[in-house]
Chain A
């Protein structure tokens, strides 16, 4: 706990560390979400195309 309190009270260094973590997690989150959304869309498109194909 002492290490964490020292870090919180470290002034300028606190913002540098926090912004680094924020950037990394934001980038990871964005690529995870965009990849998931894109794959879900493709799954739906494939399902509808397969249905059309089956009807023929």
Chain B
């Protein structure tokens, strides 16, 4: 099944059919998430109304890490199996991951001002998230640095694998070091430290943003596949 859709053309046919459905699902979930986030969720006893920032900040932070994990996994597949689709997904993911990281840093900064009294601190969690943004930018620069796509894909895969070191640092920085950033509220699904009235909008917003991510990813993958077809056509015309 997986290898059937590993063919870029078959994969493109599949993505064409599911992309509109995923986009509409994202919109519906977004409306539902906003309703629960603003109408059903109470203010926090400590942070007050600013806790509502969590419903966009936390999903963005989760996806900034998840997208990098996808890129790293694709890098392994690309290096081991030399599979074109792995390179294509990796290329399509990098700008989306960078956007989620920027959103995480900006919303975190806005949340930090009323909560900590400052926009920014060189705290372990914040600094490691900023490093993640630099790695994403590095990947995008490498992807666009060479005319020979196979060369840029290979170098970007190596950087992606080196950058994996940063993921556990981001995840556990709040446990390893004394930081201003609060520890994870949902480390175990069985005993989360947040109330269900806040967990419901958080998960709806997370699924909504996940659907947005899938929708944007499918569009970008389609673009990458067409770009490669254009490159082949141009090469044939030159011969």
Q: If A13-B48, A28-B99 touch, does A3 touch B43 (CB 8 Å cutoff)?
A: yes
Tally of chain B residues near chain A (CB < 8 A): 41
Q: How far is the CA of A3 from the CA of B53 in the complex (A)?
A: 15
Q: If A16-B53, A17-B53 touch, does A43 touch B226 (CB 8 Å cutoff)?
A: yes
B82 interface residue (CB < 8 Å to A): no
Question: How many Å from the CB of A4 to the closest CB on chain B?
Answer: 5
**Are A42 and B230 touching (Cβ within 8 A)?**
yes
Does more than half of chain A's interface fall in helix, strand or loop, or is it mixed? helix
Within 8 A of B (CB), among A1-45: 1, 3-4, 6-7, 10, 12-14, 16-17, 19-21, 23-24, 27-28, 30-32, 35-36, 38-39, 42-43, 45
Interface residues as binary, B39-83 with A (CB distance below 8 Å gives 1, 0 otherwise): 111110000111011001100100000000000000000000000
Residues of chain B with a CB closer than 8 A to A16's CB: 50, 53, 110-111, 113-114
Q: How far is the CA of A20 from the CA of B56 in the complex (A)?
A: 8
**Are A45 and B230 touching (Cβ within 8 A)?**
yes
Within 8 A of A (CB), among B182-220: 209, 212, 215-216, 219-220
Q: How far is the CA of A52 from the CA of B229 in the complex (A)?
A: 14
Contact for B215 among A3, A27, A32, A50, CB less than 8 A: A32
Residues of chain B with a CB closer than 8 A to A32's CB: 212, 215-216, 219
Q: How far is the CA of A48 from the CA of B31 in the complex (A)?
A: 40
**Are A46 and B216 touching (Cβ within 8 A)?**
no
Query: Which of A10, A16, A36 has the most CB atoms of chain B within a 10 A radius of its CB?
Result: A16
**Are B52 and A17 touching (Cβ within 8 A)?**
yes
A-B complex: 7 closest residue pairs judged by Cβ atoms: A39-B223, A13-B49, A10-B49, A42-B226, A20-B107, A24-B56, A20-B53
